Amino acid sequence: MAGKEVAAQVPAAVAAPERVGQATAVEQARAIAEVQGAIVVAQQCPRNVAAATLAMKESCGQMYLAQKAFFRFPRSGATVSGASVYLARELARCWGNVQYGVAELRRDDEHGQSEMLAFAWDVQTNTRVETKFIVPHMRDKKTGPEKLVDMRDIYENNANSGARRVRECIYSILPPWFVDQAKELCNATLKDGGGVPLPKRIADIIARFAELGVTREQLERKQRRGSNAWTEHDVAQLTVIGRSIANGEVQVHQEFEPDVITANDIVGGDDDPTLPDDPDLALPAQEGAAR
């Protein structure tokens, strides 16, 4: 009797379906045919390295790509920088016979995370790099991690994490000389700046942000140094941010910290008529400002 009770408590194994549905079978056949077709096409139309290099040089000579070719952001008191996913995608297009992508394999709302897959595949050489990773439904903020519950926030968080993994996968299958040459050309394009001197470009970017309500001090805090020490990469990064703000993709407060308002700014100084007649009444505010 006891044996029967124990057996009853063990869940029965879920049996695999004896047949495959028509839609599933069609999708499996399509996926297999797609892979085989890609390999056949790559073998019949192999890449021309000289043509790929020429296409890369032409792309990296464009200011629009050069401005988005690098990323830079502060982390733990240091600065992290490198070639961006925008450059990786363009190089994959120029190199040819390359497939890449990212997929969400599973979303676990109970534990607040998604299982993701990123890959890059050189179909011609059959070189494939892929990585599986977990993306917590969290966003790091200065006040601590923030849990994401909105579907759009989760999607964008997954997409951002996936883009970083795809970037590394693409660079892993491309020849190092091809990537290094592209970065050098993008740097040269940024330094040239279309023939406009760097000081003039710095003044122009500050003026454009002023029209958006962003002060020079906010820009300098964003770049972690004064505008007189900005480089071509700083101007390029700010140009991309400014374009995103103008297009409505991000808001000013999402990119820039507000200017610090002091107690003197609030009361307006000694000659401000709003100051109280009794100086003792102003003492707490002055003490708070001193702290």
What's the whole-model pTM score? 0.71
Per-residue pLDDT band for 283 (boundaries 50, 70, 90) equals very low
Shared-domain flag, residues 168 and 50: yes
Dist. CA 147–CA 152, nearest whole Å: 13
Q: Is position 29 within any domain?
A: no
Q: Is position 38 within any domain?
A: no
Q: Is position 24 within any domain?
A: no
Rounded to 10°, the helix 232-246/198-211 angle is 20
* Cα angle 51-52-58, degrees, rounded to a multiple of 5: 90
Number of domains in the chain: 2
Shared-domain flag, residues 59 and 86: yes
Shared-domain flag, residues 92 and 214: no
pLDDT digits (tens, 9 = 90+) for 40-92: 777 777 889 999 999 999 999 999 999 999 987 767 666 677 899 999 999 99
State what percent of residues in the chain have pLDDT above 90.
48
Shared-domain flag, residues 156 and 203: no
Per-residue pLDDT band for 279 (boundaries 50, 70, 90) equals very low
Report the CATH number that the domain containing residue 79 is assigned in CATH.
3.30.390
Q: Is position 276 within any domain?
A: no
Q: Is position 107 within any domain?
A: yes
Q: Is position 2 within any domain?
A: no
Question: What order do you get walking across the sheet with 127-136 strand by strand?
Answer: 98-108, 113-122, 127-136
Domain that holds residue 242: 196-255
Shared-domain flag, residues 51 and 156: yes
- What is the average pLDDT across 112-120? 95
Average pLDDT over the chain, rounded to an integer: 81
Dist. CA 11–CA 212, nearest whole Å: 62
Dist. CA 215–CA 128, nearest whole Å: 46
Residue 9 pLDDT exceeds 90: no
Structure tokens of 96? 């040819």
